[in-house]
Chain A
Amino acid sequence: MRKNPFRKYRGFFKGEFLNLLAFRFEILIWALQGFLNIGVMVFLWLAIYKENGGASINGFTYLQMITYLVMSALTSQWVTNGVSFHEVGRDISQGNIAVSLTKPVSYRGKSFFSTLGGMVGNFILFFLPAFLVAEAIFTFGLGLPFPQWSNLLLYLVAGLAGVVISDSFDFLLAQLGFVTNSLFGIMLIKNAIFSFLSGGLIPFTFFPAWAQSFLSYLPFSGLASTPVNILLGRYDLVSSFIYLGVAVGWAIALYLASVFANRQMIKHVESAGG
């Protein structure tokens, strides 16, 4: 019987991937928005560094700052795709959970594999080309060193942990669909808070000292700060593994929490109706 437990979920993976292709225009707009954001950041920080006389701020030179921001924007492109939030929230508010219970698959597994499908799609379609272009500019245009292969590898592992963290958060937050229909607003708030707390907006070194260590051990750091700092070689090997461990630990804990939430949600649907 247990030939391949993933076969059941292959369809959701593939489906979300194909969905991405079906909505390529929408995604392109999102990507464009990302580029505009980066553009604004580049000039904003240029102004700040000029004011500062070109010296480094909190351990970041201007170029390092730009690489950090570009990489964190690109990372969030594939690590946080919000598929679970979107789909689960919609299913809850439209009462579709009930229908999904008539299929022999776990609802949490379904949403997780949808996220993975979207992740791979985003990774190949947007992250990879953008990353290569960005690295080409940084390495050949600006003379910055290309990331070490070991760091690149660790970055991918940290990013995957980030995917699980982000997806589990999404699943948990989507439960709010039971009490409100304005999930889009919640998504905007969520994105704003997450990009701040994950170090995606500004590096942790810009926060006060007490907040730095505090934030590094929160699950949000796994979404941007940990993978990006590892990629850029700002962590030595030991701290790389420590933060990677933190991210993986949170990933497991949050995934379990989301499985628990899934069970509660189904219980609720079973007794109160979808």
Chain B
Amino acid sequence: MIEVKNVCKYFYRPYREPGLKGAFKTLFTHKKIVTKAVDGISFRVDEGEIVGYIGSNGAGKSTTIKMMTGILTPTSGEILFDGKKPYDHRDRRAILKDIGVVFGQRTQLWWDLPLRDSFDLYRDIYEIPEDEYQKRLKYLNDLLNLEPIMMSQVRNLSLGQRMRADLAAAMVHNPKVLFLDEPTIGLDVLVKEKITEAIKQINRDCKTTIILTTHDMKDIQNLCKRIVIIDEGHLLYDGTLKDIKKRFGDIRHIFVLAKNELDIGTMKAEFKDGLDVQKGEDGYLEVSYDADSLEAEEVYKYLLSHLEIKDLKVDETTLSSIVRKIYEEKSI
């Protein structure tokens, strides 16, 4: 469906030296700084998939999305959307009807008019027949509960309402592919859940391929089977969510607060270094072990028999801890 082949995007910015003298110098020199926003990325997205595209700030996520939607032209490499290039002038026309885009930080609704007018506008732009439009509107209305806000001016909507409306506006023409650039940014937990639920539903009902970027690992966990991780313009990981968890092991962390001291060395020796113990600053001992190789029972038994426990917490490896590790180490 979408193929990204060895795509690079470099931005050239004039080099400015600091200070007044530097400002004058810039007028006469043509030194340029190259920013490699995306540097040789390849992956493909198949029909009906939900792909999570993650990376730290400035990793090149938005740039890739912009190239896939045809807003930016790659410096080298190519992107094929059903065999057509989205950034090519002639191809673009054919493709635009097949894609819907939501930029979480921007709205594509008519700011000063009632929401309904924005939908009508998209009906006209995409030349949707009236009966189909009504059906579509009803579907989106049921899915995202738009009825109460249909007649309010967009600028009066809350962020959550606006995001629901934006999502609906991107789906009015029933696109084959939906690009979501940080669709849950700044939303509260409940609204987030509603939005992710709606995205899932759309994917199920309309067989829409969905590509989304987000910083919220919960979104990814709820939505995507497959993730693509990039950093500094390079691809770090492309595969299923399960695989990445397997690769990092199913690590559990037990945090224990106890009255007496524990001999860390003995405990490590007892488990043949199959676990790690660290003392945190808050007094809690952090015991980490791989749930695939050690039974929970053994670990707990040992801890209970050696310590007078005041408090105990358990944490499992989350996607966010994996991702944090990847971001920090810049490799997988």
Interface residues of A (CB under 8 A from B): 7-12, 14-15, 18-19, 22-23, 96, 98-99, 101-105, 269-274
Contacts and interface: CB of A to CB of B under 8 A. Distances in A.
A58 to B, nearest CB: 45
The 9 A-B pairs with the shortest beta carbon distances in the complex, nearest first, are A11-B121, A104-B96, A11-B124, A98-B71, A102-B101, A270-B73, A22-B112, A101-B71, A10-B124
Main secondary structure of the interface of B (DSSP, over half): mixed
B97 A270 contact: no
A8 B125 contact: yes
A18 B125 contact: no
Nearest to A271: B73
B141 interface: no
Contact of A19 (B11, B112, B124): B112
Given A15-B113, A22-B153, A270 B72 contact: yes
A14 B125 CA distance: 13
Contacts of B103: 99
A101 B87 CA distance: 10
Contacts of A9: 124
A7 B130 CA distance: 13
A105 B97 CA distance: 10
B105 to A, nearest CB: 10
B93 A104 contact: yes
A8 B124 CA distance: 5
Contacts of B124: 7-11
Contact of B87 (A8, A23, A270): A270
B259 to A, nearest CB: 59
Nearest to B73: A270
Give the interface size class of chain B: 20 to 34
A102 B124 CA distance: 15
B69 A102 contact: yes
Contacts of A274: 71
B132 interface: no
Contacts of A102: 69-71, 96, 99, 101
B308 interface: no
A268 to B, nearest CB: 11
Given A7-B127, A10-B124, A103-B96, 8 more contacts: A7-B124, A22-B112, A99-B106, A101-B69, A102-B71, A104-B96, A272-B11, A273-B63
B49 interface: no
Interface string B81-109: 00000010000010011010101001010
Contacts, number: 72
A274 B122 CA distance: 22
A23 B111 CA distance: 12
Contacts of B11: 272-273
B126 A104 contact: yes
A273 B106 CA distance: 15
A105 B12 CA distance: 29
A190 to B, nearest CB: 24
B36 interface: no
Contacts of B46: none
B125 A104 contact: yes
Contact of A270 (B71, B93, B108): B71
A143 B227 CA distance: 80
Nearest to A20: B112
Contacts of B99: 102
Nearest to A12: B121
A271 B112 CA distance: 31
Contacts of A273: 11, 63, 66, 72
A18 B158 CA distance: 22
B160 to A, nearest CB: 20
Contact of B125 (A19, A23, A98, A105): A105
B327 interface: no
B70 A101 contact: yes
Nearest to A97: B71
Contact of B120 (A11, A96, A98, A104): A11
Contact of B113 (A22, A98, A101, A103): A22
A19 B154 CA distance: 12
Contacts of A8: 124-125, 127
Contacts of B120: 11, 14
Contacts of A270: 71-73, 87
Nearest to B106: A99
